[in-house]
């Protein structure tokens, strides 16, 4: 049960909103934007385009002028005109997509727009850009470019149809659908084939990878969907990509972006808060046992097809497969992430790694002897050489986690059936700075969550953007009237036994008051499962008819569609539902967050970064973990209010928001909701207007009274 806690410093009650970063409390429907920028050559034209009588208004039925949006568009236009870099944070509802599309389509020249996800990429290409282009009558051509795994490969489809060993009835049916699809599609993009789930295993057999692509030697090269998409991107004025594609190309030169960059005048990153993690992923190096096993599968197939007498192919690959599996088994059956220094020197891991290197070398020798017999065998030889080089470059030094020369950390990640060896840079700033040098162009970084209490230092330092112009525009939403921040009293510390049960006990009356309509966001999958188990039992026991949707039980898109349609559902999810989810209207009125989203302290890369920062005299928690958690929390909080008419409660259960000195910095970075610690205030928020207390009957105290503290008293001080 939630209990009043007389000893916890309270959050101010309903009458005292938290000031929003960058502007004063008491936001109106159209709050003041960031500080005015210097006038630019296109300011007057942007004023006209974004005015009530401009061309955007009739093109978008719900369009209304927003000062924040107009000022943001001016800043982006100025950055484009001056070939400068701009970091642009725009609160939810600002309309940042139109704010960057209008100047990009009119004055951006050759423009690359990179989004956080493929879903957003499709939305931009299919809906947003066509709308703005038509409204402006802008004569620009647009292309969509995705990674090669999104396009059906003629060669691999044919090979799978001839030789594929289907393991399920679903595979057989899906393969039939793909065979029909390839005869009708002009793009080959698997997103167009809704009948086959995006995560169906069959896609791995009918698409290519950088390793398995035949390139210009392929008999289907002229019809290749990947090559066609790249040719269209070369000729287009605006190309829409995603962050994974952009950075995979910078690292691997395998996505077509490298060919686009030299001619690009403008680069725009939407959802830019994801860039540090995405760039770190691709600027590092990873080699896995799965890659080795896939190589062995292809070597066996090609060897038997083209060089049956060349060697005993089954024997040649079996010893390598065994070595790869033995490396995985060195860590038992558990999934885990370990820094190299955490692997005991006596572990089977080190001998198993050397054995795999040795067996792979033998396979390379065999492939070299037979490479002249077929192009596909030569291709397997190249892959084997590259894998052997990657394993050789992963040189364990058990004495330390950080490889001093290049400031990278070596670590191991074990999954249920594979093992990955990672070499991850501790900072991508110097690498990304090097990528941005050369041809002068404009770089725009935009998101709703880039700053911590209006301070961009964390993001700019991560990306090597120190000293670049950074601006923030507040949301037009009236958070003080539309929302309520509720931090319950009396909850135990998050690491205590029974914490999740206590959170559910606290949440149940609020969920019931909201009539379902809840996102229950957890920081771990274990908590997701525990919360779902408890809610299922409680709903049944209390006779509450709220549909319960749980991450993992269905695909993300399917869960969200079902949640919207139900109208009174509860969805329990972890990280994938903290961002990029847009549920407007009454279907979502309560967002519950179980804990502050701090990264696990035993994460190998995080631990190494903190170690280096503290050697430099910085505080790893304050300078890295806390800003990361705040940006993540802002994303989760952003799920609640998505429209001018939305109303809802943000319930953050973690008592550290109140008890720790850093709590003030966290809640001051959140939207300026009214705040309370009283359950009665929350229940009153959800009551129909006719049931609300009359004048002078403010729940939880007299009007304007702040329980346990004066107005403006900050928690944790």
Q: Which helix (H) or strand (E) segment is 85 a member of?
A: strand 85-90
Q: Which residue has the higher pLDDT, 287 or 708?
A: 287
The answer, yes or no, to whether residue 543 has pLDDT greater than 60, is yes
Domain closes at, from 389, 405, 425: 425
Render pLDDT for 191-242 as a digit per residue (tens, 0 to 9): 899 888 887 889 988 999 877 888 888 899 999 999 999 899 999 999 999 9
List the CATH number of the domain containing 614. 3.40.50.300
Residues 484, 417 within the same domain: no
Among 30-39, 172-181, 571-580, the range of highest mean pLDDT = 172-181
In angstroms, rounded to a whole number, what is the distance separating the alpha carbons of residues 11 and 7?
A: 12
The answer, yes or no, to whether residue 563 has pLDDT greater than 90, is yes
In angstroms, rounded to a whole number, what is the distance separating the alpha carbons of residues 687 and 263?
A: 58
137 inside domain: yes
Residue 4: pLDDT band with limits 50, 70, 90: very low
pLDDT for the residue numbered 33: 42
Contact 573, 519 (CB under 8 A): yes
Q: Which residue has the higher pLDDT, 251 or 223?
A: 223
pLDDT for the residue numbered 616: 85
Contact 598, 620 (CB under 8 A): no
Residues 135, 48 within the same domain: yes
Helix ranges, 521-590 (H): 525-542, 556-566
- Residue 551 has what DSSP assignment? B
Encoding tokens for residue 545?
A: 């008819």
Residues 311, 385 within the same domain: yes
Mean pLDDT value of segment 279-303: 91
Contact 91, 474 (CB under 8 A): yes
Residues 578, 468 within the same domain: no
Residue 705: pLDDT band with limits 50, 70, 90: very low
User: Model's pTM, two decimal places?
Assistant: 0.83
73 inside domain: yes
DSSP bridge pairs for 651: 486, 592
Q: Note down the domain range covering 389.
A: 285-425
Spatial CB neighbours of 431, under 8 Å, sequence gap ≥ 6:
279, 283, 425
Rounded percentage of the chain residues whose pLDDT exceeds 70: 87
pLDDT for the residue numbered 28: 32
DSSP string, 449-481: ---BTTB-HHHHHHHT-TTSEEEEE--SS-HHH
DSSP string, 348-360: THHHHHHHHHHHH
Residues 451, 506 within the same domain: no
In angstroms, rounded to a whole number, what is the distance separating the alpha carbons of residues 273 and 203?
A: 30
Contact 210, 148 (CB under 8 A): yes
Residues 642, 602 within the same domain: yes
pLDDT for the residue numbered 701: 32
181 inside domain: no
158 inside domain: no
Residues 463, 495 within the same domain: no
Among 6-15, 558-567, 648-657, the range of highest mean pLDDT = 648-657
Q: Which residue has the higher pLDDT, 334 or 13?
A: 334
Render pLDDT for 453-491 as a digit per residue (tens, 0 to 9): 889 999 999 999 999 999 999 999 999 999 999 999 999
In angstroms, rounded to a whole number, what is the distance separating the alpha carbons of residues 166 and 205?
A: 10
As to burial, measured by CB atoms within 10 angstroms (0-12 exposed, 13-18 middle, 19+ buried), residue 171 is middle
Mean pLDDT value of segment 510-518: 96
Encoding tokens for residue 645?
A: 């008419």
Mean pLDDT value of segment 346-357: 92
Residue 275: pLDDT band with limits 50, 70, 90: very high
Domain count, the chain: 3
In angstroms, rounded to a whole number, what is the distance separating the alpha carbons of residues 306 and 377?
A: 8
Contact 49, 102 (CB under 8 A): yes
Report the candidate in 23, 43, 26 with the shortest Cα–Cα distance to residue 34. Answer: 23
- CA torsion sign for 125, 131, 132, 136 is positive
In angstroms, rounded to a whole number, what is the distance separating the alpha carbons of residues 340 and 378?
A: 34
Residues 294, 398 within the same domain: yes
In angstroms, rounded to a whole number, what is the distance separating the alpha carbons of residues 169 and 199?
A: 16
Contact 98, 132 (CB under 8 A): yes
In angstroms, rounded to a whole number, what is the distance separating the alpha carbons of residues 428 and 430?
A: 6
134 inside domain: yes
Render pLDDT for 143-164 as a digit per residue (tens, 0 to 9): 999 988 899 999 999 988 887 6
127 inside domain: yes
In angstroms, rounded to a whole number, what is the distance separating the alpha carbons of residues 586 and 564?
A: 9
Domain closes at, from 416, 443, 473: 473
When the pLDDT of each residue in the chain is averaged and rounded to a whole number, the result is: 85
Residues 372, 451 within the same domain: no
Residues 81, 124 within the same domain: yes
6 inside domain: no
Residues 445, 370 within the same domain: no
How many residues are present in the chain?
A: 717
In angstroms, rounded to a whole number, what is the distance separating the alpha carbons of residues 320 and 326?
A: 10
Residues 318, 419 within the same domain: yes
List the CATH number of the domain containing 383. 1.10.275
Report the candidate in 571, 556, 562 with the shortest Cα–Cα distance to residue 514. Answer: 571
pLDDT for the residue numbered 655: 96
Spatial CB neighbours of 660, under 8 Å, sequence gap ≥ 6:
716
Contact 363, 191 (CB under 8 A): no
353 inside domain: yes
Q: Among all chains, which residue has been given the structure tokens 């409680």?
A: 538
The vertex-668 CA angle with 600 and 469, nearest 5°, equals: 90
């Amino acid at each position: 049960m939630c209990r009043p806690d007389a000893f916890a410093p309270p959050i101010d009650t309903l009458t005292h909103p938290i000031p929003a970063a960058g502007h004063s409390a008491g936001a109106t429907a159209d709050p003041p934007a960031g500080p005015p920028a210097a006038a630019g050559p296109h300011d007057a034209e942007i004023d006209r385009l974004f005015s009530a009588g401009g061309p955007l208004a009739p093109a978008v039925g719900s369009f209304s002028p927003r000062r924040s949006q107009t000022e943001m568009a001016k800043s982006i236009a100025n950055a484009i005109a001056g070939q400068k870099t701009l970091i642009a944070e725009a609160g939810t509802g600002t309309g940042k997509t139109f704010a960057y599309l209008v100047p990009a389509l009119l004055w951006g020249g050759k423009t690359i727009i990179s989004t956080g996800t493929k879903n957003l990429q499709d939305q931009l290409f299919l809906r947003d850009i066509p709308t703005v282009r038509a409204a402006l009558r802008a004569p620009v051509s647009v292309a969509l470019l995705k990674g090669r795994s999104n396009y059906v490969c003629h060669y691999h489809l044919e090979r799978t149809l001839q030789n594929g060993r289907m393991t399920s009835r679903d595979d057989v049916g899906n393969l039939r659908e793909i065979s029909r699809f390839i005869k009708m599609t002009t793009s080959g993009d698997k997103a167009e084939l809704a009948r086959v789930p995006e995560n169906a295993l069959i896609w791995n057999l009918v698409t290519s990878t950088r390793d398995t692509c035949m390139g210009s030697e392929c008999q289907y090269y002229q019809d290749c969907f990947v090559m066609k998409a790249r040719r269209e991107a070369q000729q287009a004025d605006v190309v829409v990509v995603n962050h994974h594609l952009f950075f995979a190309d910078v690292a691997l030169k395998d996505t077509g972006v490298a060919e686009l960059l030299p001619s690009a005048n403008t680069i725009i990153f939407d959802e830019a808060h994801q860039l540090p993690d995405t760039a770190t992923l691709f600027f590092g190096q990873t080699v896995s046992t799965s890659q080795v096993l896939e190589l062995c599968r292809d070597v066996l197939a090609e060897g038997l097809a083209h060089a049956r007498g060349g060697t005993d192919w089954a024997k040649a690959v079996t010893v390598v497969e065994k070595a790869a599996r033995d490396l995985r088994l060195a860590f038992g059956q558990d999934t885990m992430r370990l820094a190299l220094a955490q692997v005991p020197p006596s572990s089977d891991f080190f001998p198993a790694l050397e054995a795999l290197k040795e067996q792979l070398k033998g396979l390379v020798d065999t492939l070299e002897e037979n490479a002249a017999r077929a192009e596909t065998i030569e291709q397997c030889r190249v892959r084997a050489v590259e894998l052997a080089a990657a394993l050789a470059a992963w040189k364990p030094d058990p004495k330390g986690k950080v490889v001093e020369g290049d400031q990278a950390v070596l670590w191991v990640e074990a999954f249920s059936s594979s093992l990955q060896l990672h070499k991850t840079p501790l900072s991508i700033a110097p690498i990304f700075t090097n990528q941005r040098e050369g041809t002068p162009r404009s770089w725009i970084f935009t998101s709703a969550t880039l700053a911590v209490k209006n301070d961009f230092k964390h993001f700019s330092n991560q990306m090597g953007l120190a000293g670049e112009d950074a601006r923030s525009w507040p949301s037009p939403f009236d958070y003080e009237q539309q929302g309520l921040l509720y931090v319950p009293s009396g909850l135990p510390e998050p690491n205590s036994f029974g914490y999740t049960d206590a959170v559910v006990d606290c949440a149940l009356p609020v969920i019931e008051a909201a009539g379902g309509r809840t996102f229950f966001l957890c920081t771990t999958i274990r908590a997701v499962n525990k919360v779902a188990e408890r809610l299922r039992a409680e709903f049944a026991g209390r006779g509450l008819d709220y549909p319960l949707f749980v991450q993992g039980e269905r695909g993300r898109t399917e869960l969200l569609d079902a949640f919207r349609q139900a109208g009174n559902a509860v969805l329990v999810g972890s990280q994938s539902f903290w961002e990029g989810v847009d549920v407007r209207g009454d279907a979502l009125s309560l967002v519950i967050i179980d804990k502050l989203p701090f990264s696990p302290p035993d994460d190998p890369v995080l631990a190494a970064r903190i170690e280096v920062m503290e050697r430099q005299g910085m505080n790893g928690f304050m300078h890295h973990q806390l800003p990361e958690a705040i940006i993540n929390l802002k994303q989760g909080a952003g799920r609640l209010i998505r429209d001018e008419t939305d109303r809802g409660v943000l319930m953050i259960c973690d008592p550290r928001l109140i008890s720790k000195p850093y709590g003030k910095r966290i809640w001051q970075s959140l939207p300026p909701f009214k705040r309370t610690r009283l359950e009665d205030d929350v229940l009153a928020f959800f009551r129909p207007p006719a049931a609300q207390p009359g004048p002078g009957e403010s729940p939880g105290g007299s009007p304007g009274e702040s329980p346990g503290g004066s107005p403006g008293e900050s928690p944790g001080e």
